[in-house]
Structure 1
Amino acid sequence: MQNKGILMVISGFSGAGKGTLVKKLLSEYDNYALSISMTTRQPREGEEDGREYFFRTREQFEENIAKNGFIEYAQYCGNYYGTPKAYVEEQMQAGRDVILEIEIQGAMKIKEQFPESLLLFVTPPSAEELQKRLVGRGTETADVIAQRLSRAYEES
């Protein structure tokens, strides 16, 4: 009989290095499944629907909320982000360990629902490095970067 997989939540500030860590885990080990989140934010350059995120309208996202289709969701910097329930449950039943790369609000909701989950919090080496990474991406406006930095200071 196959063992049920576990949930591993990797959380931290935007720009902390979560994505880099997840890519390394997925390239080194074959028992992980990365949960793809749904969001209402616009795709960044090079992102594709169904690969980095499921990009949806606010109305579509709110329909999923009403149908209890998320294991967690939150609003962050004016957009919704959520983890679709069906994929996570399917992968865990198949014995795969599911990685969720989500914000801190969502991580706390996951820990309440799945107390056996593993939570990892990733932090950048310094506030200066975090700002350098966010600016270096070239994907967000100065206002969004300021919001993300402000949020990081609140959560640290």
Structure 2
Amino acid sequence: MPEVDWAEVRTLLDSLYGSAERLEALFPGRKFTLDGHLVGSIGEVIAAYMFDLTLNPASTMAHDALCPTGRRVEIKFTQGRTVAIRHEPDHLLVLHRTRGANVRVVYNGPGAMPWTAARATQSNGQRPISLAKLTRLDATIAAGQRLPLIRPAPI
């Protein structure tokens, strides 16, 4: 991965959060959450940095990256309380960050448990699961089933 100024990334990301908050203040009752490709791509580059992952081309079905041992990894990044998965991933990494805070790893383990524990498939094809549930599942993961953390969260 090329050298990145993570301090600039933090500033830019916090600016996005601030803009969303300001829009919500201007339009009460409307949500302006950062989601979709923007947040997904941010999470993917952060996870790649933290775990030495090789990112797949954008929008690759079911998995976002490969770890050095070849395991396929799905990456989810959120500022909210839930994430949604469309397919049972081989390995799942879920990262969370609120404005001004550092990224934290919510879940790092095999994808089967979260897939089974997620709610039923919605009409959009996604199965939501709460970060609280993922945190409980993560506590049961053996060290050998986790991707090794190479570097701490850069932001």
TM-score between both structures, scaled by the size of structure 2: 0.25
Q: Which has the higher contact order (CA 8 A, sep 6+)?
A: 1
TM-score between both structures, scaled by the size of structure 1: 0.25
Structure with bigger helix share is: 1
Structure with bigger strand share is: 1
